[in-house]
Structure 1
């Protein structure tokens, strides 16, 4: 995924301010390989980034990784009951 596709993905999820602040770091770290549009959409619903200008990239990445882990590991297998 290129930089433009990643920017579009963040804009669609409503995280334009976060991408404008940290987009270059995201692209350099290869973040696009581990996230998708659906994850970002749910992430933007769960978290509020009103102070994106003062947030560090490491802080954003920490919250995203925790959210991804919770959503991945919180699902029960089919026919669990």
Structure 2
């Protein structure tokens, strides 16, 4: 006979995995939103005003911004 505790322990990781994954996605989304707002503040690029901007576009803006900064301000001068 399987006790209730054993059944809960057996199903525990399966139930926990979607919650852990959701938290991970939420953290990524919060960080991307913060990155979008920081880039908007620094670049004033109006495309960044759109809160529905794709994640890949936010990352592309960030890469472009960092490349531009490193070209204008060589490493070690900051």
TM-score range normalised by the length of the shorter chain: 0.3 to 0.5
For the pair shown, which has the larger CA radius of gyration, 1 or 2? 2
The alignment's TM-score, normalised by the length of structure 2, stands at 0.39
| Greater percentage in helix | 2
The alignment's TM-score, normalised by the length of structure 1, stands at 0.38
Select the structure with the greater relative contact order (CA < 8 A; seq sep ≥ 6): 1
